[in-house]
Amino acid sequence: MEQYQILVKRYFKNIQKALKNFQVEFLFVRFIGSQGGEVIISENINGKKLTVYRNKKVLVLKLDREKIFVYEIKKLKPISIGNRWFLAYQRFDSKDRMLHSHAGYPNQFEPYTGPDDPKLPEIRNTILRSCNEHYLIEITFSGKIPIKNVGLVPGYNNWYNWEIV
């Protein structure tokens, strides 16, 4: 599934914007593979209110005002990896098969023109996801959350930062 890195210094504002303006469907949290991969939360959110707040070191997730998970965050250097937030699109073809290509195309040879290319299948879901040293977290929204390119990641020629419109 194709995914787009959210600008590091604005990830929290983007999460808040998504939660405020788009319908949350599902919350999924698990240990990363080296920690055993065990699922911690796998919950349908329809009809419930998911909120996220932060302090300097953690994001706290609440479901209907009850704290359900604390996600550790760290201050990141511009080029460091891990503990970043990405927006991923789930696309399905006419036979209802999910596309797994990193760029949205079923092969790597077509010129990629961005997430709004009309040749790509419609987006069914949008997922905000992140991974730190211990956990993978995914918040799934119904439909497409529009994004815009906000410039290159410093030090890379073809890796961009994105932001929710």
Domain chopping of the chain, boundaries: 3-164
- One digit per residue, the tens of pLDDT, for the chain of length 165 reads 788 889 888 999 999 999 999 999 999 999 987 667 799 999 999 889 999 999 878 899 999 999 999 998 876 555 455 568 999 999 888 888 887 665 545 555 566 667 887 878 889 999 999 988 789 999 999 999 999 989 887 777 777 889 999
C-alpha–C-alpha distance, residues 35 and 23, integer Å: 31
Identify the pLDDT of residue 95. 86
Identify the pLDDT of residue 146. 96
Given a contact cutoff of 8 angstroms between Cβ atoms, the answer to whether 69 and 40 are in contact is yes
Identify the pLDDT of residue 124. 93
Identify the pLDDT of residue 125. 95
Please, what is the Cα angle at 160 between 145 and 100, to 5 degrees?
60
Token representation of residue 26: 């599902």
C-alpha–C-alpha distance, residues 131 and 110, integer Å: 29
> What secondary structure does DSSP assign to 78-131, as a single string?
TT--SS-EEEEEEEB-TTSPBP--TTSSSSS-SPP--TT-TTSPPEEEEEEEEE
